A and B are shown apart, each in its own frame.
Chain A
Amino acid sequence: MSGTWITTRAWLLMLPLLIVMVAVIGWPLADTVQLSFTDAKLVGTSGSYVGFDNYVRLVSGNAFGRTLFTTTFFAVVVVTTEMVFGVLAALLLNQQFYGRTLLRALLILPWALPTVVNATLWRLIYNPEYGALNAALTQLGILDSYRSWLGEPGTALTALIVADCWKNFPLVAMIALAALQAVPRDVIAASYVDGASAFSRFRFVTLPYLAGPLMVALVLRTIEAFKVFDIVWVMTRGGPANSTRTMSILVYQEAFSFQRAGSGASLALIVTLIITVLAIAYGTAVKKVAGSAT
């Protein structure tokens, strides 16, 4: 009896939140789904029903495949690099040394900067006329003449990847550092007495404690990297020659540059679907890893 009463009360308490969520998420989502089956323009009429035409045209067009590849490539490279450097930085900052506290505080800075500030900063570094990178490379004798790092299709994506890694590896480092500090001292001490090498200690003793938190970092970063927009928009706007065009940029172009609201909505839904699949797959993996480490 009291069970149903508690359930009723729980629903009552959640009702305001549910209403807000339906209003701000459910309704726009439903609207977007409806829009994606029309040929609506950004301005003007609400368009007419075209069935799956938008989806078919987008997926069969060559921009979609190429952009999906660019986005996947970007996500895989930045996430891998950030994980590796994040863990290495955390291992370093977990050592006892003079100035550690200062370094720990400095580490968080790149991540704390707003993305737009970070992107602008890197644009300055890559600047073809007075950029620090060009100056450094020519002065070191590695480069003969200045290059336009963000202006050449061959280097723009790499330049973007570097900027994104610099911004986001601190997040991974912070998560890893927190996990490292949770490793019991006695377990580490036992591994010393047992004669474990530094690598074995990392592999068999430390890593199990890191696995769960790192998995969470991996999920967060993959999803964020897959839907990346701001840093790309500020640095390259998807150019040159669409070499840095990611899915979110493509959605933006479709909906706002080409003013095709209907197919922009279709594309946005496709991206949402991919991310949802990723999130569910990762979520399952997180549960597994976290379950085995404790």
Chain B
Amino acid sequence: MPTALGVREMSGVSIRNVTKNYGGGTPNAVADLNLEIPETEFLCLLGPSGCGKSTTLRMIAGLENLSSGEILIGDVTVDSVEKGVFVRPEDRNMGLVFQNYALWPHMTVEQNIEFGLKIKKVPQAEREKRIDEVSRTLGIEKYRKRYPSEVSGGQQQRVALARMIAVSPRIILLDEPLSNLDAKLRLEMRAELKRIHNELGSTFIFVTHDQWEAMTLATTIAVMNEGRLQQVGKPEDIYERPANRFVAEFVGTLPINIIEMSSGHGNALKTWMSAYLSFLPIDASEIASVGLRPRTLVIEPAGADGTRNGMPRCAATILDIVPTGGSWIVELDVGGDRLLGLSGNIDGLAAGNEVTFTVDRKHVHLFDSGSSRVNVV
């Protein structure tokens, strides 16, 4: 490994049985995490705030020690509690962009970018070239002589990225990098990140609590909750085949409609769903709850026949229709229970109308009493 620039080693990340406890009687921040992140992947760790995403990222970077388990980079063990191995963060050759950017306030933009190159003993001429390159790539040439406090938040973000990619790290870690930006900048940076990923071909691990960021950026999403991994998969898998109720409820712009099958006796909604389930090749007694995404609800004026594509319909009353620019949120009432629908077309529908609705069988999400997904074979 002559200079760190250019030469690339194996750079997948393996997280094995990793648990992290901060002590003081707190619950595990990360519990028994197993995750294989292949080389050049753009993995997104998604989950609500406090679920252990940053902790995971910081453990990969070596900034936080493990309570048990091991972490490998390529085939090199960098952390192993059981084998007594620890590689210092200085020696891990990674890039990390902090949520608050953590630029060095006493150095100019240029010096911020140069620092890592100096540490890696890159010769002066090559350093200059590299700084030119990355500041051009990220469009910050104009601010090279300024201090971080003299540039805007969006530009600070770019400086943080430039500082990180200047040393071409094999693994790039990003902790909620878009969360401090306004909507427009966020779109811009999203594109920028995607481009950088394509150009560098490094492994990206990206932390966010924003499912939109995760869905639009990641090649793979890992959903976490309360320190535990819930599901790993492609964005569309996560959305269309949530592994459990938590994932189903966390992912999706509008909250998913949940119908509890085990409680609430004999109401209209449950009656309809029981009838519906009886058409499916499953053991209906196993099903504890059913999830229906608003956009999959097919809502039609009352009076159509009792079934659609062989599946029963349910009668409902429209409570309200809320325009959301191009589509409409339709609030339904079924014998006192409320459901949300999302429809691109509301011809013939109005608040107060009696309607019927149903869903395609491929769009019902079934969960057992342990909240795990039950697949319809």
Q: Do A and B bind each other?
A: no
